[in-house]
Amino acid sequence: MDLLGMYPTFYVPAIGTAWVMGIIGVIHVVASHTSVGASFLFALLETKAYRDGTPEIMGFIKKYGMFLLVFSYVIGSVTGPGIWYAITVASPRGVGGLIHNFVWVWAAEWVYFTVEVIGVYALVYLIGKVDAKTHLKLTWSFALASWATMLLIVGILSFMMWPGSENWYQTGSTNDAFYNLNFFAHLATRTGSMFVMAAVVGLMVASRVRDPVLRRSVVRFIAPIGLVGGLFAVMMFIYYLQTLPNNAVVMLNTYLLPVYARAMVAVFVVATAWLVFAWWQPQRVYTPLAVALFLFIAVAGVWPEERMRESMRKPYVAGQYIYGNQIIARNVPGKGIRSEMEQIAAAGLLQLHPFVPKPLRTVTADNRLATGRLLTQIACANCHALERGAPLRSLPDKLHGATDEDLIAAFLQGPLKHGTQPYMPRIDLPAPEIDAIAHFIAAVNRGEDVTAQPTPSTATAAASQPE
């Protein structure tokens, strides 16, 4: 029997693997943007100290650098591999697709990351131990290496949204994938935001500086950088919105902006007000206030932005050719990749997925609930929680609690099969599998226990068959 190259995936109730990845990712983005932004703040501050002959600023850089080392780099380094573990069980095939495109880009990113990590240690511990000009060069190298890690990962992240043209599908070239339509807008948005993050964290560190003159000069230096960065980020975000595919625009207008628009405006207003206030009253930048505002801007600013970007590329996980549920949705001649849609429509997922338990390979009257549950987990659970009222786009709720199996099946055979909703994948399955899914969803909506296993007789009979 022919099998497709699909992998087993984890199912996390209520929040899905998507939010597991999302929560780790948000912590990572806060840490990494702070580090990258701070590296440029250091470089600019040190340049100022070098030109003005004010070495006391180096004391602040040392303090901030130490803070970064302990918090940002440790948290960033733990959550970075954490993302790898999470996506491997959430979207193994999506990751596989990305690795086949970007293996050398990632290799390059890790080289720069190594430079960055060694750079931050060297920067902190060599203050006062090497001459000022050498140290300044070191700090600028550190800043450029930090930004290079972000530049490289942004090319990969923005390819996940879409390549933006037909070229990549035909050539399969890494350059066509990397320099995709929304790469520059995405990079510019993150570059602006990283200055905001760094300024907000910088104020937290500055609040611990006792010398009022030094505190004033540092705060007055970093607050305007944060303000300009924020303005630039907002402008580039508007540009970014113009580089999105249609499915993302529909998703954005229909579901995301109504939920997140207020939080985004609130973050912009609060961050602007805070930076202006800090510039105006450097002595009143108290630590608890600075920490509270950092937490607000980090959580309320980064979570909606990351969640939106992750949601908007649905139904695809990468390059508009592979769906979140691992199914290859179109041919990519440049990579020798073929669509699996027709094969799945003819033979069904239960026959083609390598990790289906033997008793569930065929839908029978006895195992309809169990096969329905497994099929729903395979086909839907990457994006949808399967419990009523669950936070991750609950599938029962998306069908408005429908309990009529025939109409749920009709929905699968009509809108879903024909791609009526631009943010949903086309899912074309044989009739028995559609009925099993409808049976399962209706049972969930009726509030029944859906964890029941197929009857023992079926299981034993199937298990006793020779392999």
Partner 1 sequence: MKKLLTFGLVTCCLIGVDARAQSGAPAADIAAGQQRAAACFACHNANGIAQIPGTPHLAGQERGYLEKALRAYRDGSTRQEPTMNAMAKPLSDQDIANIAAYFSSLPR
List residues near partner 1 by CB under 8 A.
Answer: 250, 254-255, 398-404, 406-411, 413-415, 417-418, 420-422
As a whole number of Å, the end-to-end CA separation of the chain is 12
DSSP per-residue string spanning 322-357: EETTS-B-S-BGGGTB---HHHHHHH-HHHH-TT--
Tell me the closest approach of the beta carbon of residue 405 to partner 1, in angstroms.
9
Type of residue at 71: F
Tell me the closest approach of the beta carbon of residue 273 to partner 1, in angstroms.
34
Question: Which CB atom, from 185 or from 409, has the smaller least distance to partner 1?
Answer: 409
Question: Which CB atom, from 253 or from 281, has the smaller least distance to partner 1?
Answer: 253
Q: Rounded distance, CA 32 to CA 41, Å?
A: 14
Question: Which CB atom, from 192 or from 396, has the smaller least distance to partner 1?
Answer: 396
Q: Shortest CA distance to 33 belongs to which of 177, 187, 183?
A: 187
The DSSP symbol for 316 reads: E
Question: Which CB atom, from 37 or from 324, has the smaller least distance to partner 1?
Answer: 324
Question: Which CB atom, from 381 or from 412, has the smaller least distance to partner 1?
Answer: 412
Q: What is the 3-state secondary structure (H, E, C) of 269-288?
A: HHHHHHHHHHHHCHHHCCHH
Tell me the closest approach of the beta carbon of residue 346 to partner 1, in angstroms.
18
Tell me the closest approach of the beta carbon of residue 251 to partner 1, in angstroms.
10
Tell me the closest approach of the beta carbon of residue 108 to partner 1, in angstroms.
40
Question: Which CB atom, from 220 or from 418, has the smaller least distance to partner 1?
Answer: 418
H-helix or E-strand spanning residue 220: helix 212-241
Tell me the closest approach of the beta carbon of residue 435 to partner 1, in angstroms.
12
Q: Rounded distance, CA 80 to CA 33, Å?
A: 13
Strand pairing class (316-318; 322-323): antiparallel
Q: Is 371 exposed, middle or buried (0-12, 13-18, 19+ CB in 10 A)?
A: buried
Tell me the closest approach of the beta carbon of residue 293 to partner 1, in angstroms.
35
Q: Exposure pattern of 111-136 as b/e (b: 16+ CB <10 Å)?
A: ebbebbbebbebbbeebeeeeeeebb
Which tokens sit at 290?
């600075």
Question: Which CB atom, from 56 or from 448, has the smaller least distance to partner 1?
Answer: 448
